Amino acid sequence: MADDSANGSKVKNVTTYTPSLLQSIPRQEQRSKLGIVESSLPFKGLDVWNAYEFSWVDGRGKPEVVLAQFQIPGNSPNLIESRSLKLYLGSYGNTPFNHRNEVISTLESDLTLAARAPVSVSFMTPEQVQHVGLGLLVGNSLDNLDVEVSEYYWNPDFIEVESNTIVRESIFTHLFKSLCPLTGQPDSASILIQYNGNSISHEGLLKYLVSYREHEEFAEQITERIFVDIMNRCSPERLAVSANFARRGGIDINSHRTHKEALPAEVRVWRQ
């Protein structure tokens, strides 16, 4: 038995393909609280999910294992609830497929229906994953700043322009933590912020990011909240926010939102 159902009750793990396990959450409900209008999004975006424990069986009953990656466009009307995705992926466990492409097309069809936008699926073998390895976030780390922190509930007032000097910066932290709104479990992440505009206080930005420690919100929504908070407080000419969340339940979520430029390259960080 596993406490993985969408309502938190115990359910039996299903190992026969069951697409009805997938559950969606409308993005606009939370976006409206941030003043975001669906018809005029202030960003481009992409949510990349990596499922490290995905498996099925071939036509002769032999297990196949891969890292399954799903790319969900940030302008999709729905996001996919992570625990339902875990159950859905688990339902492939003892389901036979004759060809790998059949698995990919089935995943793409179901996930596209759930997100209400085209979702792309790709597989990596264990050897390919090992070859790619871990990567490093590029920029200046906030983690060694000598700051005193006492607030652990979301507070955007910490964000402030430090000077009118125009800079182009890439800054990151591995100290981020928030809470899942359904389970209350901690979600740790590495946050990368790239911007061009008036210099933003590093100390204030770190305090702001740390203030999420008792804040409950989904990963994708947190990325958008950070983006909107920085835009509202500092009005940079260019802004990109990436949140690489630690693997939980065999799945990690990597959410990217950018203002004007191309989405940043995908990096697998140390907790993934």
DSSP 115-172: HTS--EEEEE-HHHHHHH------SEESTT--------S--GGG--EEEEEEEEEEEE
Name the residue ranges covered by the structural domains of the chain: 19-132, 140-258
Per residue in 248-268, pLDDT tens? 989 999 999 998 777 777 888
Per residue in 35-44, pLDDT tens? 999 889 999 9
CA-CA distance, 168 to 237, in Å (whole number)?
A: 10
pLDDT at position 85 is 96
Q: How far is CA 71 from the centre of its chain?
A: 10
Per residue in 117-161, pLDDT tens? 999 999 999 999 988 878 889 999 999 999 999 999 999 999 999
pLDDT above 70 as % of the chain: 96
With contact defined as beta carbons under 8 Å apart, do 270 and 245 qualify?
Answer: no
Helix (H) or strand (E) holding 49: strand 44-57
Q: Which residues contact 137 (CB under 8 A, 6 or more apart)?
A: 172, 190, 192, 244, 267, 269
Q: What is the largest CA-CA distance in the chain?
A: 66
Class of domain 19-132: alpha beta
Amino acid at 150: S
Q: Please check whether the two domains, 19-132 and 140-258, share a CATH topology.
A: yes
Task: Please determine, for residue 179, whether its predicted confidence score (pLDDT) is greater than 70.
Answer: yes
Task: Please determine, for residue 1, whether its predicted confidence score (pLDDT) is greater than 70.
Answer: no
Question: Is 187 known to be catalytic?
Answer: yes
pLDDT at position 7 is 45
Provide the pLDDT confidence category of residue 46 given band limits of 50, 70 and 90. Answer: very high
Pairwise pLDDT comparison (78 vs 7), residue with the higher score: 78
pLDDT at position 11 is 60
What fold is seen in the domain 140-258?
Answer: GTP Cyclohydrolase I, domain 2 (3.30.1130)
| Active-site residue identified among 4, 187, 229, 252 | 187
Question: Is 47 known to be catalytic?
Answer: no
CA-wise closest residue to 147 among 198, 190, 209, 199: 209
With contact defined as beta carbons under 8 Å apart, do 121 and 69 qualify?
Answer: yes
DSSP 19-42: GGG--EEEHHHHHGGGT--GGG-S
Return the number of other C-beta atoms located less than 10 Å from residue 157's C-beta: 12
pLDDT at position 52 is 96
**Backbone φ, ψ for residue 196 (5° rounding):** -130, 120
Torsion angle, CA of 40/44/46/47, rounded to 10 degrees?
-60
CA-CA distance, 150 to 55, in Å (whole number)?
A: 44
